[in-house]
Structure 1
Amino acid sequence: MKKTLRITEIFYSLQGETRTAGLPTVFVRLTGCPLRCQYCDTAYAFSGGELMTLDAIVEQVAGYTPRYICVTGGEPLAQANCIALLKRLCDAGYQVSLETSGALDVSAVDPRVSKVLDLKTPGSAEVARNRYENIALLTPNDQVKFVICSREDYDWAVSKLIQFGLDARVGEVLMSPSHHELSARSLAEWIIADNLPVRLQMQLHKILWNDEPGH
């Protein structure tokens, strides 16, 4: 039996965040997520979707002739066959990133994939779901992301940055202001004042397209 995944959408756009922000990228959005972060902007991916074989997914992706692929969700790792898809995409020669909540085990992810692990802050309402064992599995090819909702979230994120030596472990530590909850300027000023070894990211897709589905 051919391996399948439930897919919400496959689309071509600019990457809005992470180290490849601004680069044309194909997004493969898997359906389903065990978390319910209070600021989630992709709740439409919690259910529904279309069952597709890995062959069909790879064929559709190839139609865009992309260089970069982002496998996202939902929570992609909630579907076991995500691991096989990631390997297939790497074998095809693409630069592949995986956006994951960090609540699920990342140990089986192909090392060629850049894992973008979102450590959940207290303001997310899902901080208890962080699987800290994942941090030891991260490499300079990977990235850690914090979505900051408040000054309290920022202070918590700084404590985790220091506790786990994240800036020395991964290629990028990213901080984003939670849309409509914290101004980007405030976050920028805190980062500058503390001289943090992190990158502020602004979610380019929301600036360009107001985060309409398909971008």
Structure 2
Amino acid sequence: MTGTILQISEIFHSIQGESSFAGWPCTFIRLAGCSHGCRYCDTTYAKTAERRLSIGDTIDEARRYHAHLIEVTGGEPLEQPAVHKLLHALCDGGGGVMLETGGFLSVRDVDPRVHKVIDLKPPSSGRDKENCMENIDIALNAGEGERKRYEFKIVAADREDYLWARGILKDTRLAEACTVMMGPIAGTIHPSELAGWILEDRLHVRMQLQLHRYIWPGMDRGV
């Protein structure tokens, strides 16, 4: 039926490598398709679908791993209308449910029970003009209990990216209300350089590295 079929890139069990949940075992449902094309995208293979599954079959496959945490990611998962029914059904089934989105589309209609990790794309991505800034307003205007289910992720390739991020955080005061994660893009600036900038500016962010890339170096899929 229309609205109940998902374009799937992969479903796998791994260690959560990013976000405030880093380190926890997690089942990932990676939906296929993204119309944006960031310069540093590390999941270009997810642009095309490997399978088409119903929402029920997708959940059944994900639940086989018996993980206490499930993340729906992409690609850009919000480009598939059926993702909202998927997230709602996952929440009804219990356990932690996460959504990681590229930040191009509004999260307004996402089930409030979902923990939302929202990217803010910097200039080096080539897509910084496509950020859905409404998402910041949505998070800031959420109730105190609900606001904890919003976190933002910013990656940086150079000093320009960092200054761009610092400016947004200063203008919006987002980091005072929500968790903001910041990390280097692999192969660009060294983590110590980014850490130094954060410390120098007393920036209220949580630095992160992609943990899964240290556990399984060279592996691009299924981690």
Counterparts of 1:129-140 in structure 2 under 5 Å?
129-138=130-139, 139-140=147-148
Partner-residue secondary structure (3-state), 2:78: helix
Aligned residue in 2 for 1:25: 26
CA deviation after TM superposition for structure 1 residue 149, in Å: 0.8
Question: Secondary structure of the equivalent of 1:134?
Answer: helix
Q: Distance in 2 between matches of 1:192 and 1:183?
A: 15
Distance 1:140 1:94 in 2: 16
Return the alpha-carbon distance in structure 2 between the equivalents of residues 168 and 140 of structure 1: 12
SS at match of 2:23: coil
What residue is the counterpart of 2:59 in the other structure? 58
State the 1:212 CA deviation: 3.0
Query: Among residues 146, 157, 160, which one is paired with 1:149 in the alignment?
Result: 157
Counterpart residue identity of residue 194, structure 1: D
1:135: how far off?
1.1
Work out whether residues 11 and 29 of structure 2, in 8 Å CA contact, stay in contact via their aligned partners in 1.
Answer: yes
Which consecutive residues of structure 2, in runs of 5 or more, have no partner in the other structure? Answer: 140-146
1:168 aligns with 2:176: yes
Aligned to 1:96: 97
Counterpart Cα distance in 2 of 1:126 and 1:153:
12
Aligned to 2:204: 197
Instruction: Give identity over the alignment, percent.
Output: 43
Q: C-alpha distance in 2, partners of 1:182/1:70?
A: 28
What is the alpha-carbon distance in structure 1 between the residues aligned to residue 49 and residue 209 of structure 2? Answer: 29
Structure 1: where are the runs of 5+ without partners? none
Moved >6 Å (runs of 4+)? none
1:176 CA drift (Å): 1.0
Instruction: Please give the alpha-carbon distance, in whole angstroms, between the structure 2 residues aligned to 1:179 and 1:197.
Output: 22
2:121 is aligned with 1:115: no
User: What is the alpha-carbon distance in structure 2 between the residues aligned to residue 169 and residue 159 of structure 1?
Assistant: 16
